[in-house]
Amino acid sequence: MTMSAKLMVGNWKMHGSLSANAALVADVLAVMGQVQCRSALCVPSVYLGQMQSLLSCSPIALGAQDVSSHASGAYTGEVSADMLRDFAVRYCIVGHSERRQYHSETDIVVAIKAQRALAVGITPIVCVGESLAEREAGQTELVVKRQLAAVIQANGHCISEIVVAYEPVWAIGTGLTASPQQAQQVHAVLRAQLRAATAHADRVAILYGGSMNAANAQDLLAQPDVDGGLIGGASLKAVDFLSMLKAASR
């Protein structure tokens, strides 16, 4: 294990309501005393104010799902890193496969977004991962190293301050999951790449983010280079999310 405590991050994606958010957080916080891992919830930006209040003085950190590549200006609908900092955001997902796919985000854009977050003291959760076609073509290592390389190049002096999330695109929301061995193989490649870039590579948590759930979390988290999880749908169910937090606390 490379990290002193696993990091489990819930990504709510485009889900939530004021009432549902309050109920879910109340259920999770009620038993957080049994949890020893680090945790965060990345929520839609419209709920950051509510969640800042709900998570205040709790062990769960607040996270955002995206940040603008621009510092400020005439970019209607965008949310800047400074704005996120106003809500005490600690983590921000950048380069999620859905952003890369549906919003045509390039490796360079993702690298700049990571830079914006780091500049204001927010930890970017940099997502990398290959499609099914890329895996079947034997290009997994090439793809994830290219994606991470762009972030390292733009943020080399503080690259040890990021979190990396490996999310095989073919396993997101599909019910398919990389085997623990497949996940470890890619995580080891990413760890080696980070070690080549910084003497502090072991500070970087590398999360697994492809359909991790209550049933498979323990086996995935047992791998030496899997430092936690980026959890989608399962983080919307208090019982499932808590089960995974407990698995990460063992």
Active-site residue set: 96, 167
Calpha distance 215→40 (Å, rounded): 20
Closest CA to 94 of 168, 196, 22, 165: 165
Query: Which residue in the block uniquely carries the two structure tokens 């209040």?
Result: 53
> What is the DSSP code (8-state) at residue 32?
G
Query: Which residue in the block uniquely carries the two structure tokens 């070690």?
Result: 195
Calpha distance 50→40 (Å, rounded): 15
Contacts of residue 209, defined as CB under 8 A and 6 or more positions apart, other chains included, come to 11, 127, 129, 165, 166, 167, 172, 229, 230, 231, 232
202 sits in which H/E element: none
Measure Cα distances from 53 to 13, 83, 137, 143, 242 in Å: 20, 16, 47, 39, 21
Structure tokens at 38: 């680090």
